[in-house]
Amino acid sequence: MAVVDFAGEELDRTIIRVESRNEMRTVIWRFFALAVFAISVALEPDIESHGIHLILLAAYTGTSFTAVLLVATGAFRASFNWVYVFIDAVLVVYLAAEHMFIPGISVSDALATPSLAIAFVLLAHASMRMRVGPVLFFAAIVSLGSIVTGAMSLFADPYRLGLAQEDLQAASVRLLAFAAVAAIQIMLVVDIKRLVRSTLSKSSERANLARFFSPGTAELLASKGLGVGLGRHEAAVMFLDIRGFTSLAEKMPLEEVASLLSDFRYRVVAMVSEYGGTIDKFIGDGVMVVFGFPASSQQDTANAFDCSQQLIQQLDAWSDRRVGSGEAALSFGIGLHHGSVIGGVIAAGAHNECTVLGDAVNLASRLQAMCRSLDADIVMSRAMAERLHEHRLDERWTVKSRARIPGRTGMSDVVYLPSSRARPAVPEMAGRGKVS
């Protein structure tokens, strides 16, 4: 069955693609920060600073449009984010320093200026990149820069050396508030990244499993994963292959062989999924299918039987179309058995596999091999036939008592469906219809 380990590299590449698509939205949000900055400048009571603020506003507008242009043209690179985060942080530090060095203004008043509200907006903007690094980088520059400029302003103004307690408290509270918001943003980024990775991992698992399993079975494996431990199960096992494929493939170009197998497998997977079966594995031109693992039902035997008949009918029709197109005819053989199997996840390092094994699997494979000697489309064990309702076995089915099964000791009764192109049955193949 499908391997249940999933590479983290593909998840990392997917997350990078998601982040790349998020770049335009992140860049556009710079204009929201730009609007906040413009409003704060308009509300700034210090008229003398308006000229410098307008220059900063113009510069910030230019960098924002440049970022949009880079993203729109595909020239934007993830490393550019660090440049923009640095520019944003320096802007905040400059605004803080500008007010710190105004003569006669208290520290609490300097930190209460409306333009410094941009610090929280730009902090949120940094977190939109969904990476912890830019948030930490921005918060560190703003915090350290504010502390350094604050200390420098104290020594530059002798009247501030006797810093009032309320000023110190105001500065500490604002700095702690900024640090707390930064910490919250970091935790949100970490949680969202973890959630995205988990969601992508489960989505990748389900997509991979859905290629081999019926929807219900794929959901079970995706939810339990390696929790599907080895255990004994009652299941119907089917083996199907293309008879005479080896000799046919020797005469075909490799490209045609690959195309033939792809068409064959596509048809098998579609039919098996329709009847709730599970593709255990592909074996060259053969397929092993299980009905009843990992999820079982009372209809497993009937589903396996009905699926086998529909497969033969559909595959024969496909062969007829090939002949009509001038290609070689194909014939198929199916072996069916119901019995006890051991199923679950078998650990193998980097290639853990969910599969079934046991004598029931071997017997189904041997029954499929008998299709050639019996010139049959389907060969099933007596145990399988006895689990079916009588009306399912019509007059086309033949019972062969005490048949010798290849690779097994002793004799066993088998029930088979002669090939639609079969020759007249030999006398020993008597006993059609009801299995008694």
Along the chain (436 residues), what's the average pLDDT of each consecutive run of 10 residues?
A: 48 60 71 77 64 78 82 77 85 75 60 64 75 86 81 64 61 79 86 77 67 60 60 92 88 91 93 90 92 86 94 94 91 94 75 82 94 92 87 82 84 88 41 43
pTM higher than the cut 0.75: no
Q: Do residues 151 and 175 make contact, with C-beta atoms less than 8 angstroms apart? A: no
Q: Do residues 287 and 268 make contact, with C-beta atoms less than 8 angstroms apart? A: yes
Both tokens assigned to 46? 């210090």
Neighbouring residues of 63: CB distance < 8 A, sequence distance ≥ 6: 30, 84, 87
HSE (CB half, 13 Å, CA atoms) of 283? Answer: 12
Residue 100: per-residue pLDDT: 67
Of how many residues is the chain composed?
436
Both tokens assigned to 2? 């499908």
Give CA–CA dist 317/308, Å, rounded: 14
Residues of the chain within CATH 3.30.70.1230 domain(s) are: 215-418
The CATH number given to 215-418 is 3.30.70.1230
Residue 174: per-residue pLDDT: 76
Q: Report CA Rg, the chain.
A: 36
HSE (CB half, 13 Å, CA atoms) of 232? Answer: 4
Give CA–CA dist 315/436, Å, rounded: 31
Residue 370: per-residue pLDDT: 92
| Dihedral sign, Cα of residue 387, residue 388, residue 390, residue 395 | negative
Helix crossing, 118-127 with 165-210: angle to 10°? 20
If you ran DSSP here, which 8-state letter would residue 284 be given?
Answer: T
Neighbouring residues of 227: CB distance < 8 A, sequence distance ≥ 6: none
Task: Burial-class residue 356 by CB neighbours within 10 Å (0-12, 13-18, 19+).
Answer: buried
Give CA–CA dist 235/293, Å, rounded: 7
Give CA–CA dist 280/355, Å, rounded: 6
Neighbouring residues of 44: CB distance < 8 A, sequence distance ≥ 6: 50, 53, 113, 114, 115
